[in-house]
Chains A and B, each alone.
Chain A
Amino acid sequence: MGRTLAEKVWDDHVVRRAEGEPDLLYIDLHLLHEVTSPQAFDGLRKSGRQVRRLDLTIATEDHNTPTLDIDKPIADPVSRAQLETLRKNCADFGVRLHSLGDVEQGVVHVVGPQLGLTQPGTTVVCGDSHTSTHGAFGALAFGIGTSQVEHVLATQTLPLARPKTMAITVEGDELPEGVTAKDLILAIIAKIGTGGGQGYILEYRGPAIEKLSMEARMTICNMSIEAGARAGMIAPDETTFEYIKGRDHAPKGEDWDAAVAYWKTLKTDEDAVFDAEVVIKAEELSPFVTWGTNPGQGAPLSANVPDPASYEDASERLAAEKALEYMGLEAGQPLRDIKVDTVFVGSCTNGRIEDLRAAAAIVEGRKIADGVRMLIVPGSARVGLQAVSEGLDKVFKEAGAEWRHAGCSMCLGMNPDQLAPGERSASTSNRNFEGRQGKGGRTHLVSPQVAAATAVLGHLASPADLSEADARTPAGV
């Protein structure tokens, strides 16, 4: 019987398989950041162990880093201490580190792909749940806890039970006009639920997926964890190879040819059987936003806030009631009427160059609404430089947005970029949990396009709403 993409990559990394034991899996690339690594390095020290493969390990600073005044000492002493701990650990053990101020610094899941380190058929781990992002390249990539970070540092392997596989097939030739990868993944999570992918590796497939850029594929795989999945993958193809070719760590010469030959084998066999299958019809998709406090609580932008009484399941009903109370929303209220205070464009979900271009194209020549704060945070220093070279920073600044330095920023508010209690955001990030963007903050997850249109109009909106608003206001008035 044929094998799925996930099974092929898994099988190629089994170091040891024994009855009644989890497989021992080899890890090709280990990404580190300052938040989930200190206790792992401490563990190595206590047991007198070294990092087994420095050449498969790389660190960056992202969660705590400020996005303003990066040349000054970090104001928060606890954040500063955590970054200094990473610097000391990397120096002590010899790990390559990209610190704040370095051109390769940025959100760990933007850095790996941009360096060409994320490649098809590799296993990638990081002490960060959004490691699923790298699955966009046909890599098997998943988030791990700190104990596992220590385990990988010491052994370059992990004992793991093989997850089941789930096909998520997007039917239809392509996503309808105005519909983005973010809308698609939010709709998938709303459909299968935050626990729907639990125990599975998802494989996104179908012609509409194959037409997507690498940035769009990364957005989709990034949020696999929000459906509870262990990982998300997309089979590599010419789009993937083209993206990798020429990057710093891409294979060169004969290695390139050998790599591509292998990468081309990385697709699910026609006779392979998935443990579960979900079908999404592309034609039914439209811009999608969340109204609640978990990423599964979402709806098309054209819909109304749902009535908790409409849920048959008691625990879902209770969850919806609590969510509406926290979010300060009324059942039946049109989602488009929801006014926001802050718009955040950035994160490992939507902080890549294509995302910034999309948002810039919408705010260009327009002004963001009075009283709305718009933060643009590139996913990495390099993405920031690219955007500046294209003049995108100017476009944003002229529209009234704030152009910031790279990092995780307001996605989780570990640095000074936070919502105040009761403040409401439209955010291109991945989690709308209570207090995620700041204590008492209220988050609506959206695409970069919806974020930009929302910033201009001051309420949740799509670019199509913007054209209508423009048409109502004759030029020059």
Chain B
Amino acid sequence: MEAFTTHTGRAVPLRRSNVDTDQIIPAHWLKKVTRDGFEDGLFEAWRKDPEFILNREERQGATVLVAGPDFGTGSSREHAVWALQNYGFKTVISSRFADIFRGNSLKNGLLTVVLDQKIVDALWELTENDPTAEITVDLQERQVRAEGVTADFELDENSRWRLLNGLDDISITLQNEADIAAYETSRPAYKPRTVQV
């Protein structure tokens, strides 16, 4: 996983709530068997509209997505996170993320930041009026900064530590392999098995 410490970049203000993962990456893109090459599928249906914010000249190269509440609802597809990253986004800000999407994002180094809707409103206003305005997301300090906006955000210490160091979950878990093996010896015989081994 890519480490995340601090990032500063221009933003895309996305004034929509309930952006589900079918909108982020439609199902027909899910037939790919790699983790890359999803950038053209990001918000595919909406991008057909030349006026859609992602298509505008002044938003090219933006790396911070500022979205409405309930971002990433629906399907568990991690492809939604990959699509955002493949396109170039480093961080997404919203007042509420769907659980599975949030988990997926943090496992891939895409920092999802939860801020009060009032702060999101202020960031929308700032970046809509001035497309060159930059937003800094600082994971060290757990703080978002932009012109006229300084807001602290919460992220549990364990997730923060993993992100700051770009740590691989599986390696961390396998350090406790003895605990897993011990648990396995205590599992009751009636638990289901898919095959006899």
Asked if A122 and B192 make an inter-chain contact with CB atoms under 8 angstroms apart, the answer reads yes
Q: A24-B173, A54-B197 are in contact. Are A82 and B33 (CB under 8 A)?
A: yes
Whether, in the assembled complex, A38 has its beta carbon less than 8 Å from a beta carbon of chain B, the answer is: yes
Closest Cβ neighbor of B157 among chain A residues? A20
A positions within 8 Å CB-CB of B? 15-16, 20-22, 24, 26, 28-29, 35-36, 38-39, 42, 47, 49, 54-58, 63-64, 76, 78-79, 81-82, 85, 96, 116-119, 122, 127-129, 143-148, 150-151, 154-157, 159, 161, 163, 194-195, 198-199, 225-226, 228, 230, 249, 251, 255-256, 258-259, 262, 294, 315-316, 318-319, 322, 412-414, 431, 433-436, 439
Smallest beta-carbon distance A252→chain B, Å: 9
* Residues of B within 8 A of A (CB-CB), count: 61
> B69 and A315: CB pair below 8 A?
yes
Minimum distance in angstroms from A159 CB to a CB of chain B? 6
- How distant is B90 from chain A, measured CB to nearest CB, in Å? 18
Distance A261 CA – B107 CA, assembled complex (angstroms) = 39
- Are B27 and A413 in contact (CB-based, < 8 A)? yes
Q: Which among B35, B173, B187, B193 is the interface contact of A249 at CB below 8 angstroms?
A: B193
Of A29, A116, A147, A315, the most chain B CB neighbours within 10 A belong to A147
Q: Which residues of B contact A64 (CB under 8 A)?
A: 31
On whether the beta carbons of A119 and B104 are closer than 8 Å, the reply is no
Nearest A residue to B73, CB-CB? A194
Point out the residue from A39, A54, A147 that lies within 8 Å of B33, measured CB to CB.
A39
* Residue in B75, B107, B187, B190 whose Cβ sees the most chain A Cβ within 10 Å: B190
Q: Are A148's CB and B107's CB within 8 A? A: yes
A26, A57, A413: which has the most chain B beta carbons within 10 Å?
Answer: A26
Q: Is the CB of B68 within 8 A of A315?
A: yes
Contact between A36 and B78 (Cβ–Cβ < 8 Å)?
yes
Q: Cα distance A150–B108 when bound, in Å? A: 13
Known: A38-B33, A156-B180, A157-B173. A228 touches B192 (CB 8 A): no
Instruction: List, in ascending order, chain A residues with CB within 8 A of B107's CB.
Output: 145, 147-148
Asked if B176 and A24 sit within 8 Å, CB to CB, the answer is yes
If the complex has contacts A147-B78, A315-B69, A414-B28, are A435 and B194 also in contact, measured as CB distance less than 8 A? no
Residue pair B192, A35 in contact (C-beta under 8 Å): no
**In the complex, A316→B156 CA distance in Å?**
30
- In the complex, which of the residues A20, A56, A85, A127 has the most CB atoms of chain B within 10 Å of its own CB atom? A56
A294 and B18 within 8 A (CB): yes
- Which chain B residues have a beta carbon within 8 Å of chain A's beta carbons? 15-18, 20, 22-23, 26-28, 30-35, 45, 68-70, 73-79, 81, 96, 98-100, 103-104, 107-108, 156-158, 169-170, 172-174, 176-177, 179-180, 183-184, 187-197
Q: Which residues of A contact B99 (CB under 8 A)?
A: 163, 198-199, 228, 230
Cα–Cα, bound, A436→B20 (Å): 10
- Chain B residues lying within 8 Å of A439, measured Cβ to Cβ, are 26, 45
* Chain A nearest CB, measured from B87 CB (Å): 18
Q: Shortest Cβ distance from A143 into chain B, in angstroms?
A: 4
Given A20-B157, A159-B169, A315-B68: A258 and B73 within 8 A (CB)? no
Contact of B76 among A24, A127, A322 (CB under 8 A): A127
CA of A226 to CA of B20, assembled, Å = 11
| A194-B192 in contact given A22-B158, A24-B179, A38-B33 (Cβ < 8 Å) | no
Q: Which residues on A sit within 8 Å (CB–CB) of B20?
A: 294, 431, 433
Q: How many angstroms from the CA of A428 to the CA of B186 in the assembled complex?
A: 42
Bound state CA distance, A115 and B90, in angstroms?
Answer: 43
CB <8 Å contact, B70 and A228: yes
- Determine the chain A residues whose CB is within 8 A of the CB of B191 once the complex forms: 28, 119, 122
Nearest CB of chain A from residue B49's CB, rounded to whole Å: 13
* A434-B22 in contact (CB<8A): yes
The residues of B that contact A251 with a CB separation of less than 8 Å are 190, 192
Q: Say yes or no: B176 contacts A16, CB within 8 Å.
A: yes
Identity of the chain A residue whose Cβ is nearest the Cβ of B183 in the assembled complex: A15
Extra pairs beyond A39-B34, A58-B195, A322-B16 (4, CB < 8 Å): A16-B179, A39-B35, A39-B78, A155-B173
CA distance A241 to B104 in the complex (A): 35
Chain B residues, CB < 8 A from A436: 22, 27
**Bound: A220/B193 CA distance, A:** 26
A414 proximity list for chain B (CB < 8 A): 27-28, 30-31
Q: Which chain B residues border A156 with CB–CB below 8 Å?
A: 180, 184
In the bound complex, do residue A55 and residue B194 qualify as a contact, i.e. CB atoms below 8 Å apart? Answer: yes
**Pair B180/A157 contact, Cβ less than 8 Å:** yes
Most buried by A among B100, B104, B169: B100
Interface pairs (7), CB distance under 8 Å: A20-B157, A56-B193, A145-B107, A194-B73, A195-B73, A319-B16, A433-B20
B173 and A151 contacting across the interface, CB-CB below 8 Å? yes
A16 / chain B contacts, CB cutoff of 8 Å:
176, 179
B126 to chain A minimum Cβ distance, whole angstroms, is 18
When the two chains form their complex, are residues B190 and A255 in contact, meaning their CB atoms are under 8 A apart?
Answer: yes
The answer to whether B170 touches A318 (Cβ under 8 A) is: no
> Is A96 a contact partner of B76 (Cβ separation < 8 A)?
no
Contact of A15 (CB < 8 Å), options: B33, B174, B179:
B179
B181 to chain A, nearest CB (A): 10
Are B27 and A412 in touch, CB under 8 angstroms?
yes
In the docked arrangement, what's the CA distance between A64 and B190, Å? 34
The answer to whether A145 and B100 have CB atoms under 8 Å apart is yes
Q: Which of B30, B32, B179, B194 has the most CB of A within 10 A?
A: B194
